[in-house]
Amino acid sequence: MTWQAWLTLAAVAVSMGVLIFTRFSADIVLLGALTLLVLCGILTPEEAAEGMASTGMITVGVLYIVVSGLRETGAVQIIAGRVLGRPKTLVSAQLGLMVPVAALSAFLNNTPVVAMMIPAVSDWAKRLRLSPSKLMIPLSYAAILGGTCTVIGTSSNLVVNSLMKQSAGVRPLGLFEIAWIGVPGTVVGILFVVLLSRWLLPERRPAISKHDDPREYTAEMVVEPGSPLVGRTLEEAGLRNLPGAYVAEIDRGGDILAAVSSAERLHASDRLVFVGMVETVVDLQKMRGLTPATNQVFKLDSPRSARTLVEAVVSPTCPLVGKSIRAGRFRSVYNAAVIAVARNGERVRAKIGDIELRAGDTLLLEARSAFVEQQRNSRDFFLVSPIEDSAPPRHERAPLAIAILAGMVAVVTAGWLDMMAAAMAAAGVMIVTGCCRPAAARRSVDWSVLLVIAASIGLGKALLHTGAAATLAGELIGLARGNPWAALAAVYVVTAVTTATITNAAAAVLVFPIALKTAQNLDVSFTPFAVVIMIAASKCFATPIGYQTNLMVYGPGGYRFADYLRIGVPLTVVIGLVTVLLVPQIWPLTVP
């Protein structure tokens, strides 16, 4: 190999080591390695920047906007309720997540499936009081596993099948033919994750779930007539085991129900009194079928979709101190409605309008975003701070947002548009129809993930252009020494390792001609080798940069690079053994 190839391998190896053994962010480390290769002349600036224009990176970036539309309309909660349910244990939660996601990914592109499910799983984990780190990798792995059950499940399957069509004497696979190995592999993979993730996945929770919040708010919510919550028990409605909050009582037409049972069924116009953290009150605001009990929110001079939640601490000089919220005409004075009140960590036993304000009270307000700037330096409040991502959902647009998502998936499945074009169209429609505000669309994009994808593509190009990847692949396959089974195993290992460092489609393209030549030299059927390439290129579990769905769950799951190695390497080995053992039984190596 040339010095350029050795330096590229060294840069990739050092980057992997830094990511595994330190806590440096992946985007900084990979961009640093890419910069080194540019400075050494191995890549031109144009080649290094090609990743920024890759369809994969753009697709992931645009999908963040599509997901933002689902979140802003409350469609995420609908999807979570219909697909995920309310399991009682971690094992049942993982099964309830992985099975439907794997089934969807067999027929749909797995990237939008994961993009759609990430916010739903985040909310779901919070309600079940489970660590997101126990569910996000299983989400990605389920999508990856399901994608190997049909030829259209992943891009690498399609790439390999098209290469088979172009190769003389090689028969391409039928749509469901790969399911003979894809389904057993998916079953084994799901069982592996469900049975061993308790020990192999980290337990990382947001800091808010580890410590009690000293601000214990009292908030009143009303069950809207005709809402989906009417007739459900507190347990079925997901209101019983809220993270950091509880239902203190129900006011039903003047009758107070205290110490409410989880089996208590909700009636229209029930007034529910919640006590708990601000984050949970924000979640209640977003729940379909619940509205703040105070009618003041409907009298503000701006639409609810244009408002946000704000925390404000009352100062002794506030003119409303000593007056009730209603008597002091809080809404008229500040053009803001009081949603909840916190007072020295104790429950305030009064309806919101009847609470008499004291200095030091912390108010949760629904107001226009301009309220923060107007009152930040006011003597009426000690502190004024906005709550991130707290705009009330536009529930009336939820069916439209789901229809846009379904349309995006349908046009991709039918082959009318590629994934990037469909995602861009869906994001545009989300914004034009008001499902996603432009400001929310800009905030929704996770630039660190996009930079990792772009840098990974650049490093992959260096491995390909310097010949380092092809040399290593050829040497490893050469170790098989004429044994077809050993050659098959070597092809799996080469493809899996290559996929972990460059994109899965690129790995498949790289290994395909090497495997084809190996099969011809051994005078055996090439079909088993092609199937092994499909499986190994698609099932990349060992690193976050090997498959874009792994990167998409990296942040939401609170993961580190080593977390993928801990569970992904043994899973890759298990899937590899299943593949190498079963494939020759289904597609014989001997030429008929």
CATH, residue 285: 3.30.70.1450
- Provide the pLDDT for residue 176: 83
In this structure, are 196 and 225 located in the same domain?
Answer: no
162 φ, ψ (degrees, to nearest 5): -70, -35
67 φ, ψ (degrees, to nearest 5): -65, -35
How many domains does the chain contain in total? 2
User: Quick one: three-class SS letters along 388-432?
Assistant: CCCCCCCHHHHHHHHHHHHHHHHHHHCCCCCHHHHHHHHHHHHHH
Q: Which of 356, 386, 416 is the last residue of a domain?
A: 386
Paired strand residues for 271: 222, 251
| Residue 391 domain-assigned (yes or no) | no
| Residue 422 domain-assigned (yes or no) | no
- For the segment 462-518, what is each residue's pLDDT rounded down to a tens digit? 877 888 877 777 776 777 777 888 889 988 998 898 888 766 777 787 788 788 878
In this structure, are 367 and 460 located in the same domain?
Answer: no
Residue 457 CA to residue 57 CA, distance in Å, equals 9
CA angle (29 as vertex; 23, 32 as ends), nearest 5: 150
Q: Which two tokens stand for residue 59?
A: 């697709």
Q: Which domain holds residue 182?
A: 3-204+448-586
The number of beta carbons lying within 10 Å of the beta carbon of residue 249 is: 17
| Residue 435 domain-assigned (yes or no) | no
- Provide the pLDDT for residue 236: 82
- Provide the pLDDT for residue 302: 62
Do the beta carbons of residue 245 and residue 276 sit within 8 Å? Answer: yes
| Residue 423 domain-assigned (yes or no) | no
**Taking the chain, what is the end-to-end CA distance rounded to the nearest angstrom?**
39
Element (H, E) at 159: helix 155-166
In this structure, are 364 and 261 located in the same domain?
Answer: yes
In this structure, are 195 and 225 located in the same domain?
Answer: no
Residue 98 CA to residue 549 CA, distance in Å, equals 14
- For the segment 274-304, what is each residue's pLDDT rounded down to a tens digit? 888 887 788 888 788 888 877 655 566 666 6
Q: Which two tokens stand for residue 441?
A: 């669309």
Q: If you count them, how many residues does the chain have?
A: 592
In this structure, are 162 and 77 located in the same domain?
Answer: yes
Q: Which two tokens stand for residue 515?
A: 């495997």
Paired strand residues for 291: 222
User: In 117-135, which positions are buried (b, 16+ CB within 10 angstroms) versus exposed (e)?
Assistant: bbbbbbbbbbbbebbbbbb
β pairing state of 271-276 and 245-252: antiparallel
- Separation in Å, CA 142 to CA 28, 106, 276, 464, 499: 29, 10, 35, 29, 18
| Residue 412 domain-assigned (yes or no) | no
- Separation in Å, CA 309 to CA 364, 396, 531: 7, 20, 53
In this structure, are 147 and 56 located in the same domain?
Answer: yes
Region at 345 (left for phi over 0; alpha for psi -120 to 50; beta for the rest): left
In this structure, are 146 and 68 located in the same domain?
Answer: yes
Specify the DSSP class assigned to residue 170: -
Residue type, position 517, single letter? K
In this structure, are 143 and 63 located in the same domain?
Answer: yes
- Separation in Å, CA 330 to CA 186, 356, 363: 58, 11, 11
| Residue 407 domain-assigned (yes or no) | no
| Residue 468 domain-assigned (yes or no) | yes
Q: Which two tokens stand for residue 353?
A: 């309008």
Nearest alpha-carbon partner for 552 in 109, 191, 249, 199: 109
In this structure, are 265 and 186 located in the same domain?
Answer: no
Helices then strands (H, E): number in the chain?
23, 9
- Provide the pLDDT for residue 55: 75
User: Any residues with CB less than 8 A from the CB of 472 and at least 6 apart, and which?
Assistant: 9, 494
In this structure, are 227 and 351 located in the same domain?
Answer: yes
In this structure, are 489 and 581 located in the same domain?
Answer: yes
Q: Which two tokens stand for residue 97?
A: 């997540």
- Provide the pLDDT for residue 398: 87
| Residue 486 domain-assigned (yes or no) | yes
Do the beta carbons of residue 111 and residue 421 sit within 8 Å? Answer: no
Do the beta carbons of residue 363 and residue 387 sit within 8 Å? Answer: no
- Provide the pLDDT for residue 186: 95
The number of beta carbons lying within 10 Å of the beta carbon of residue 240 is: 18
In this structure, are 107 and 181 located in the same domain?
Answer: yes
Residue 162 CA to residue 173 CA, distance in Å, equals 10
Specify the DSSP class assigned to residue 387: P
pTM: 0.73
Q: Which two tokens stand for residue 244?
A: 């950091």
Region at 388 (left for phi over 0; alpha for psi -120 to 50; beta for the rest): beta
- Tens of pLDDT along the chain (592 residues) come to 788 889 988 988 888 788 778 878 878 888 898 899 999 999 888 888 887 877 767 877 888 888 888 878 888 777 767 778 778 889 999 999 999 999 888 877 777 788 878 888 888 888 788 899 999 999 999 999 998 888 777 777 877 887 788 776 788 888 788 999 999 999 999 999 999 999 999 988 654 444 445 567 888 888 988 888 888 988 888 787 777 778 888 888 888 888 788 888 999 889 888 888 887 788 888 788 888 877 655 566 666 666 788 889 999 999 999 999 889 889 888 888 888 888 876 777 778 888 899 998 989 888 887 888 888 888 999 888 888 777 777 888 889 998 998 888 788 777 788 778 888 999 999 999 988 888 888 888 878 878 877 887 787 778 778 888 777 777 767 777 778 888 899 889 988 988 887 667 777 877 887 888 788 878 888 899 999 999 998 888 988 877 888 988 988 898 988 899 999 999 999 999 999 999 999 999 876 5
Q: Which of 352, 371, 386 is the last residue of a domain?
A: 386
- Provide the pLDDT for residue 211: 42
Q: Which of 355, 386, 417 is the last residue of a domain?
A: 386
561-586 vs 527-538: helix axis angle to the nearest 10?
A: 160
